[in-house]
Copies of this chain bind each other. A is one copy, B any other.
Amino acid sequence: MNRLKRVKLNQLKVKDSFWSPVQELVTDEMIPYQEKVFKDEIPDVEKSHALANLRIAAGMEQGEYYGMVFQDSDLAKWLEGAAYSLVIKPDKELEQRVDAIIDIIEKAQQPDGYLNTYFTIKEPEHRWQNLLECHELYCAGHMMEAAAAYAETTGKDKFLHVMERMADHIEGRFGTDKERGIPGHQEIELGLMRLYDVTGKDKYLKLAKYFIDERGQNPNYFKEEKQKRDWDHFHMDPENTFYNQSFAPVRQQRTAEGHSVRAVYMYTAMADIAGRTGDKELYEACVRLWDNITQKRMYITGGIGSTVEGEAFTKDYDLPNDMAYAETCASIGLIFFAKKMLDIEPAGKYADILEQALYNGVLSGMQMDGKKFFYVNPLEVNPGISGELFGYKHVRPQRQGWYTCACCPPNLARLLTSLAQYAWSEGEDAVYSHLFLGGEFDLDKAFISVHSSYPWEGRVVYHVEGKQKSAFKIAVRIPAWAQNPKVLLNGEEIDVDSCRKDGYCYLERVWGKEDILEVSFDMRIRKIYANTAVREDAGCVALMRGPLVYCFEGIDNGELHSLRVCTGKEAKAKERVCTEGIFKGMTLLKVPGVRMTGSEQLYSETAPSSEPVTLTAIPYYAWGNRGINQMRVWMLEKR
């Protein structure tokens, strides 16, 4: 098994007309906003109390713990995001404030290495008794990821050492020939792998692998645990083994089941471990699970987890649009999983979905002002129904300032600030460009500066400055949907077919100091049909252009369910670059359609008649930025 290298973020400088403004929003608005939330300084949003919990645990403040049992993890994800943001935009004051928080974390750590504000403040006698419900390992995993990130981006190791002590505490307790245990919510595996990355210590990889392999073994750990303790936290039923993916040993799992964030975090760790250890059986399980998700259980937006009940996967082809769950965190987790798979096998099937989730189901999680967030990302919203009636109560028709369970906002922060890492991998003999991200990228084999006006235009230029005298490949992704892809090397056209393999175009040579590689393709508007087995998309069409899924909003188009999108040969949707307002610079679509008008009666024999209309479609990620109104991705089609 090939195994590509994750490129360190410090080497990567994003300068992209699409993403740099988003990253600026994150550094300038979202990270400061979220910091204020953690400090309970934002009025009229759900209270966080995450920093106060930490200070109380550190003995610096009197007070009661407040929040979910996993409140520490919100702060951890933010710390990770803050660490990455320092690469995008060095900020001494932020760094000092983070250092101050790390000092508190260190003080909150117990003499034996234990770190968790909930159990330290509220139930010290209950530590490690309820892994099913209490997220101790989950919070530890997020703190490890944050600590590793901060060490990597700042070179400071205090936080890293704190988390190494916690990892050692855990490693001293759980494992083969030690106490049995697995996390109720997978994440520790990812944290341990990040510690392994940064420290190179095998024991962390070994422990991560233990947690992965122990899951689903007989007897089920969670059932045993529940019998041992006489207290519950959430009254979770350990018999619901799908929920936490303990229904079978992970290597035998064939379908993506249960809580979708738990699932994709686990698959990410499985892929990471498989890649590093060459564990073929584990890798094959990952491929099966990837295929099941992306071929049967994923929204076109890259959203996963169709149901609010258990925030879970349901069944093949069950993808309701108006009842969708499609948690932002789940799509983020799908990106994590995709990247780990790419690092084993650079194939378009992973990168295309990574990109699809990123530009749609993930980016939709954030208001264009960076201050409001979706937890649930529906593909259809109906004001007066969504968020109000049974079945739709979880579907908020507009983004919220904060959530009681606030996993998504800081998860967005850490993903978006580390985005460059998802754009590149380096192998022994190749450099891989997965995403068309403009910027300056100081890779081991070459310094590559990229100019791109993606996703609006399909043209990307790579200025390559080779660093080695021997030949190596630059592999540039060609999306599966790209029509007429053209590749020019120093102005000369390359035969794409001859160098294209699994979604990448491979160009091997000794790269000079001023080589220019230009990739371009047609960004036509694509009419997308779902598999006919998807009940909820029957008779419908969705529009994509490049990686972007488009949607229709009521504010532009009126009542959406009485409209049809014309898909006949004559009917051509047109692009229009928006020149003003909040959508300035975006390519919107003008789509030929009809509006159906029927009888006033509730039921009648009068077939609705149609009048032609021109519909406006906007990128899905931008929906819900103009007040509460109707939205649909899948529109009924008129052929």
Contact, CB under 8 Å: A602 / B294: yes
Quick one: which of B317, B535, B539, B603 contacts A539, CB cutoff 8 A? B539
Known: A308-B390, A531-B600. A384 touches B538 (CB 8 A): no
Q: Does chain B have a CB within 8 A of A179?
A: no
Known: A390-B307, A604-B529. A315 touches B385 (CB 8 A): yes
Complex Cα gap A607–B527 (Å): 8
Q: Mark A597-608, 1 if CB is under 8 A from B, else 0.
A: 111111111111
Residues on B with beta carbons closer than 8 Å to the beta carbon of A357: none
Count, chain A residues at interface, CB 8 A:
55
Contact, CB under 8 Å: B295 / A389: no
Contact, CB under 8 Å: A532 / B596: yes
Complex Cα gap A382–B391 (Å): 17
Complex Cα gap A298–B294 (Å): 39
Q: Does chain B have a CB within 8 A of A499?
A: no
Contact, CB under 8 Å: B314 / A389: yes
Name the residue in A530, A538, A567 with the highest tally of chain B Cβ atoms < 10 Å from its Cβ.
A538
Copies in the complex: 2
Complex Cα gap A559–B296 (Å): 17
Q: Does chain B have a CB within 8 A of A309?
A: yes
Residues on B with beta carbons closer than 8 Å to the beta carbon of A528: 603-605
Complex Cα gap A12–B220 (Å): 67
Min C-beta distance of A562 to chain B, whole Å: 4
Complex Cα gap A581–B281 (Å): 53
Min C-beta distance of A521 to chain B, whole Å: 15
Q: Does chain B have a CB within 8 A of A323?
A: yes
Residues on B with beta carbons closer than 8 Å to the beta carbon of A519: none
Contact, CB under 8 Å: B530 / A603: yes
Residues on B with beta carbons closer than 8 Å to the beta carbon of A539: 539, 564, 636
Name the residue of chain B whose CB is nearest to the CB of A605: B526
Residues on B with beta carbons closer than 8 Å to the beta carbon of A531: 598-604
Quick one: which of B296, B390, B542, B605 contacts A529, CB cutoff 8 A? B605
Contact, CB under 8 Å: A323 / B391: yes
Q: Does chain B have a CB within 8 A of A426?
A: no
Residues on B with beta carbons closer than 8 Å to the beta carbon of A561: 532-533, 535, 538
Contact, CB under 8 Å: B603 / A309: no
Q: Does chain B have a CB within 8 A of A318?
A: yes
Contact, CB under 8 Å: B562 / A532: yes
Name the residue of chain B whose CB is nearest to the CB of A297: B602
Find residues 467-522 in chain A having any chain B CB closer than 8 Å to their own CB: 481
Complex Cα gap A561–B317 (Å): 12
Find residues 580-613 in chain A having any chain B CB closer than 8 Å to their own CB: 596-608
Q: Mark A215-241, 1 if CB is under 8 A from B, else 0.
A: 000000000000000000000000000
Find residues 387-408 in chain A having any chain B CB closer than 8 Å to their own CB: 389-391
Find residues 275-327 in chain A having any chain B CB closer than 8 Å to their own CB: 294-296, 298, 300, 307-309, 314-315, 317-318, 320, 323
Residues on B with beta carbons closer than 8 Å to the beta carbon of A604: 528-529, 531
Min C-beta distance of A164 to chain B, whole Å: 42
Complex Cα gap A526–B535 (Å): 25
Contact, CB under 8 Å: A307 / B389: yes
Min C-beta distance of A73 to chain B, whole Å: 26
Residues on B with beta carbons closer than 8 Å to the beta carbon of A295: 601-602
Min C-beta distance of A535 to chain B, whole Å: 4
Contact, CB under 8 Å: B391 / A598: no
Complex Cα gap A317–B602 (Å): 8
Known: A532-B596, A564-B539. A318 touches B603 (CB 8 A): no
Find residues 529-549 in chain A having any chain B CB closer than 8 Å to their own CB: 529-535, 538-539, 541-542
Quick one: which of B385, B532, B597 contacts A532, CB cutoff 8 A? B597
Residues on B with beta carbons closer than 8 Å to the beta carbon of A596: 532, 538
Contact, CB under 8 Å: B607 / A567: yes
Contact, CB under 8 Å: B309 / A598: no
Write 23 A-B pairs (CB below 8 A) sorted by A numbering.
A294-B602, A296-B602, A315-B384, A318-B389, A320-B391, A382-B535, A481-B605, A527-B605, A528-B604, A529-B604, A529-B606, A529-B607, A530-B603, A531-B601, A531-B603, A532-B559, A532-B561, A532-B598, A533-B561, A533-B562, A538-B596, A539-B636, A542-B603
- 15 further contact pairs, Cβ within 8 A, besides A532-B598, A539-B564: A294-B602, A296-B602, A307-B389, A308-B390, A320-B391, A382-B535, A529-B605, A529-B606, A531-B603, A532-B561, A532-B562, A532-B596, A533-B562, A539-B539, A541-B607
Question: Which 9 pairs between the two chains have the least Cβ-Cβ distance?
Answer: A309-B390, A532-B562, A391-B391, A538-B561, A539-B636, A535-B561, A307-B390, A532-B598, A532-B596
